[in-house]
Structure 1
């Protein structure tokens, strides 16, 4: 099972939308505090709709707590400061993909320790970043694609309407 990690997320609607995406993708969500909201906040629940209770979510008091509780985690760091694209790596089925807070990203002191595992989503110059929820969806679904969408429905079905 893949893992999405949000380092100090600030906007409840983003985290709610990411939580919904994680449920749809059978992916765990890890939240590293401090959070810019309370987990029982209405905006978080509204964005996550009725999926929040189905979410496998774990919170951590800080980054050190996250590392201590996941000592063998293979972590990819999504950052605009990376030199390689998110499509340039092979995602392990149980890897962790970390995203930083909306206003500042992942702190550089963390990125420096994981320089070889930093990835970016290509963008035109002079754009600061994409929306956090969009970024998570882009990278997560590439990781899922690389792992053959394990355990997911690959076909939809049309319902024929009779007139």
Structure 2
């Protein structure tokens, strides 16, 4: 596991992830983009879970992974110049209008409930991926949300692109 205080222009944090294959896929994305990954407990699985390992394939040695007991503990390890960017299906700056900065932390919520209000309130910004086929606020008539690993890949790529990481 890595030290999150190490300088990194961008990092991903998962708040209370529940589904092992999603976390494994996100770890794979982080390895490919060379973005550190932080998991904020409680987790809905064990780090030894075979589905988690299978989704991450043999890329786990290339993931800068850290695990934290809660969001406050995670934030204490971050450099002073970080911004916490909440990634949510509603109420945020559209991704195409979001301006990422070096030191940003992309925070994603649980697969079943997203980012709780108390966590959203601690974010410096919230960004949202526009979905023309989105469901209504009541969850009717369309897609309620993207898969967590897909959303993480989209936001991570856009942020890295803006920061000139690739």
TM-score bin, normalised by smaller chain: 0.7 to 0.9
Provide structure 2 residue ranges, at least 5 long, that are not aligned to the other structure. 1-7, 136-142
Select which of 77, 83, 87 maps to 1:74. Answer: 83
Whether 1:29 and 2:29 are equivalent positions in the alignment is: no
Which one of the candidate residues 100, 117, 120 is aligned to 1:111?
A: 120
Shift of 1:68: 2.1
Query: 2:42 & 2:50 partners in 1: Cα distance?
Result: 18
1:34 alignment partner, SS class: coil
Given that 2:37 and 2:66 are in contact with CA atoms closer than 8 Å, whether structure 1 keeps it comes out as yes
- Where does structure 1 differ by over 4 angstroms across 4 or more consecutive aligned residues? none
Deviation sequence 1:40-78 (CA, Å, 0-9, x none)? 111111000000111101100011211222262211100
1:121 matched residue in structure 2 = 129
Size of the aligned set, in residue pairs, is: 149
For 1:83 and 1:43, the matched residues in 2 are separated by 32
Match for 1:13 among 21, 27, 30? 21
Which residue of the partner structure matches residue 160 of structure 1? none
Q: What's the C-alpha RMSD, in Å, of the aligned pairs? A: 1.4
Query: Is the partner of 2:121 in helix, strand or coil?
Result: helix
State the distance in 1 between where 2:22 and 2:99 align.
Answer: 26
Q: CA deviation at 1:93?
A: 2.8
Which residue number corresponds to residue 158 of structure 1? none
**2-structure distance, mates of 1:47, 1:83:** 29
SS of the residue 1:113 aligns to:
coil
Partner of 2:3 in structure 1?
none
The separation in 1 between residues aligned to 2:106 and 2:73, in whole angstroms, is 17
Larger Rg: 1
Deviates more, 1:67-76 or 1:47-56: 67-76
